[in-house]
Amino acid sequence: MTFLWPELLWLLVTVPVAVGTYLWLLRRKKRLAVRYASLAMVRDALSVGNRFRRHVPPLLFLIALTLMIVAIARPAAVVTLPSQHETIILAMDVSGSMRAVDVQPNRLTAAQEAARAFINDQPHNVRIGIVSFAGTAAVVQPPTENREDLLAAIDRFTLQRGTAVGSGILVSLKTIFPEVEFDLGRSNPRINASDTGRGRPLARGKGADKDAKDAGKDAKDSSKDKDADKPVAPGSYQSAAIILLTDGQTTTGPDPVEAAKMAADRGVRVYTVGIGTVAGEIIGAEGWSMRVRLDEEALKQIANITRADYFYAGNATDLKKIYEGMNAKMVLKKQQTEITALVVAVAAIFATLAAGLSLVWFNRLL
């Protein structure tokens, strides 16, 4: 156990002072009992059990006092909380292939129903964001704790052309790390100077000399940026996760495998959920038709790269079970948490118990 305000623990000196005061009062009562015969007779009449009970309420009150002082120092401990990730990004495919009916009533509707169930099952302190992708990707709902906004965003989905799974992953990463620019043309993501406010473009003209003087400072900032660019262990980032729901057939946009590697470099897990069937279904419109199949291999590869898991959803019922399984897997996490409220609650229980026993046994408060 640690304390956020450890300097206030000096108040614990009041505990031995309280014990000393209590012992002094007992000795004082003993002297009075010797002085007055009637008091001595009353003392002798007390049974051993009664003599023991008279010390129980003060002892319980002393424990309550100690706990209250500890609470003032704001204790913290490693506890298991019902929230593993502070932020969860739902990246959902809204491409034309999601209207296939090999999952009833169709792929998109099944995905929407499962997403609603997942959102409703999450603890209220978990922030959820929603990214939709087809030919391009966009944040349709920034991370929020407002469940009504999330459900409304899901209801607004409309099918579009193309499937850019890689874009869905990159936009999800950008939502988690808004200060980072993710560029597939580079081996590592780079810090966006305009987002962080630390970079400063060199001016041309009169301000060039001043900017040259600031070059040393910018160099230091860039060294910090390089440290931020260093890859971490895949799956090591515990504050956020991405859940990618798609049929996995990429038709445009950046390579999803490369995008997954960038997520792995940041330690973010990308859980993939394949919706549809391997055999697929033929869909068509305006004189054209094509067979849309579930690309499981691509989704398994994305999950493996980021040290996450791949799940298959053959129908809407299985899809809900998958989300429920994710919820159970992701919500438990050990982390350092302030437990002041818990300590105060225990102290209140001891204080109430002390007062109650004193009233029942001696018809007085302590």
pLDDT for position 43: 54
Could you read off the pLDDT of 86-131 as tens digits, one per residue? 788 999 999 988 888 888 888 888 888 888 888 888 877 788 999 9
365: how many CB neighbours lie within 10 A of its CB? Answer: 11
Least confident residue range of 24-33, 197-206, 290-299: 197-206
Nearest to 275 by CA among 120, 100, 134: 100
Q: In whole angstroms, what is the distance from residue 17 CA to residue 153 CA? A: 61
Print burial letters for 228-246: b (CB count within 10 Å at least 16), e (below 16).
Answer: bbeeeebbebeebbbbbbb
List domains and CATH numbers for the chain.
Answer: 2-78+337-362 (no CATH), 87-188+233-331 (3.40.50.410), 192-230 (no CATH)
Could you read off the pLDDT of 296-323 as tens digits, one per residue? 999 999 999 999 989 887 666 666 666 6
Q: In whole angstroms, what is the distance from residue 148 CA to residue 120 CA? A: 10
In the chain, the amino acid numbered 347 is A
Cα dist from 188 to 178, 226, 231, whole Å: 15, 9, 8
HSE at residue 163, side-chain half, CA atoms within 13 A, is: 22
Residue 209 CA, distance from chain mean position: 47
- Given a cut of 50, whether residue 61 has pLDDT beyond it is yes
Q: Name the range with the highest mean pLDDT among 14-23, 38-47, 183-192, 312-321.
A: 14-23
Higher pLDDT, residue 261 or 218: 261
Question: Under a CB-based contact definition with an 8 Å cutoff, are residues 201 and 222 in contact?
Answer: no
Global model pTM greater than 0.85: no
